[in-house]
Amino acid sequence: MSQVPRSPKIVIIGAGMTGILMAIKCLDRGIQDIVVLEKAATIGGTWRENTYPGVACDVPAHLYTYSFAMNPNWSHYYAGGNEIQGYFEEMVRRYQLEQYIQCNQEVTASEFKAGEWSVTTVNGDQYQADFVFCATGILHQPAYPDIKGLDSFAGKVFHTARWDHSVKFDSSVRVGVIGNGSTAAQFIPELVKSGADVSVFMRTPQWIMPVADRKFMDWERYLLNRSMWMQRFYRWTSTLLLKDFFNRALSGAPLRSWLLDKLVRWNLRSSVKDKILRQQLQPDFQVGCKRVIVNTTFYPAIQQDNAHLVRDGIAEITPEGVLTSDGKLHKCDVLILSTGFNALSYMRPMALKGSDNVDIEDAWKDKVEAYRSVLLKGYPNFFLMLGPHTPIANFSIIAMSEVQGDYIMQLLDKWMQGEFDTVSPKQEAITAYQAFIRAGLSGSTWASGCQSWYLDADGDAIVWPFSWARYVESMAEPVWADFDLRKQNTSI
């Protein structure tokens, strides 16, 4: 790359998958003035936080890597959490990012003033930056259920993202599980295998797509380590499954939608023999309204003698266990909360103030919105990675981050060439983008009436309602007319 007239100071908030990616992209551009602020003692984000039994990614492993750093050594088709954490640790070492990452530096406030960002951490340290990349992730704040009496429970209680490894599960332990999303579908079979008596309190059953995990054979890993073509082939086949079938089915392709519906219904019917249990596990909403679970172990596990499905609503928690609406007390020694995350938190609870001292809580008091998911009006040179309308069916979130990262780097290139000092979206551009998204959501599976973490306070889905190919096309290059570009406080 040719010499550029100036290089920006950049603060990246979060050293998970996206923060690491953006640091690599900056270094690739020759940008050296980078600091990555991580709230925890180590890097890793999601895969550092989630250590529950059976934790794995529901995206095939060979697709769940950076496109420029594929991994030939995955042990399974769906990689486990420890293995994925190890991959990102290897990325930090390979790209020599240790010198840029500062751990135990949770960001408490970011404020734009006098033409630059001032970022403050919990330790009182301050950093000045031309640009801030907020890579805090989508699912990083555990959501705790508002259930009467939860604090009164006498046994152990913990959220899946704060797994208590001091608890040992065997036939003497009675476990209550509240929640039944993708996480629950992974760890419940592990608890059942331990011999523990497991009661699953299920408010809403979920559709499950049966794609079995498997261990890669030694000969496969041998070839993958010696052939880049093989790595690309495995990545391509995984992409084919998610992009050309799964993603298009969920974004409305008629034949694929029909096939996906038939597949998940057949899976339930063929996997669960007991008619009453099958009816209890039958969702009453359209496939894809909630995130489709990819799993082959939950249905067999819930049919074991030491597993109990409870569909009666929870009235309250008592010191002894869970009291359901039918008046029955389900005694428990351990309560596990598989109740997901606050998906709309984004950078919060960090205090964020943009130009004119506008607080993010005020900016978003009526609606959480962003331009192309990453830019916020009134917050110049601030990029929210994986913002609203980023979730794309069940596709790889790494691929989403790469697309957003490439888009942002095009903006940085113009800044480095001195064409502007600050960039933020115009309100009319945000309004048009939101209308575009609403039109796509209208009549879609995500707007078909169920409750899910995809929905905001108004019941509007925060997902991308179109195909993956259309997302890539829409983010290929910036529409410069949509931006408020300023140079030394003067509009360009």
pLDDT at 251: 74
Kindly report the CATH number that applies to the domain delimited by 150-206+290-337.
3.50.50.60
What's the DSSP call for residue 356? G
| Beta strands 101-102 and 34-37, pairing class | parallel
Q: Which residue has the tokens 């990675």?
A: 385
Q: How many CA atoms lie within 13 A of 405 on its CB side?
A: 23
209 closest CA partner among 263, 247, 269, 286: 263
- C-alpha span between 485 and 480 (Å, rounded): 9
Within the chain, all domains assigned CATH 3.50.50.60 are found at 10-141+343-491, 150-206+290-337
- Strand 126-129's sheet: what is its strand order? 126-129, 116-121, 107-113, 351-353
Paired residues of 126 in beta bridges: 120
pLDDT at 489: 66
Give pLDDT tens digits for 213-267.
Answer: 999 999 999 999 999 999 999 999 988 888 878 777 777 778 888 999 999 999 9
Give pLDDT tens digits for 334-387.
Answer: 999 999 888 788 898 899 999 989 999 999 988 889 999 999 999 999 999 999
| Beta strands 321-324 and 314-317, pairing class | antiparallel
* Domain 10-141+343-491, classified CATH 3.50.50.60, yes or no: yes
Q: To 10 degrees, what angle do helices 228-239 and 218-226 make?
A: 110
**pTM higher than 0.75, yes or no?**
yes
Long-range CB contacts (within 8 A, 24+) of 465-470 = 465/251, 465/437, 465/440, 465/441, 466/251, 466/440, 467/243, 467/247, 467/248, 467/251, 467/253, 468/242, 468/243, 468/247, 468/392, 468/393, 468/395, 468/399, 469/243
Residues with Cβ within 8 Å of residue 363, at least 6 apart in sequence: 354, 376, 377, 378, 379
- C-alpha span between 406 and 84 (Å, rounded): 23
Percent of the chain with pLDDT over 70: 97
pLDDT at 84: 97
Cα 349 to the center of its chain, rounded Å: 17
Length of the chain: 492
328 pLDDT tier (thresholds 50, 70, 90):
very high
Average pLDDT, the chain: 93
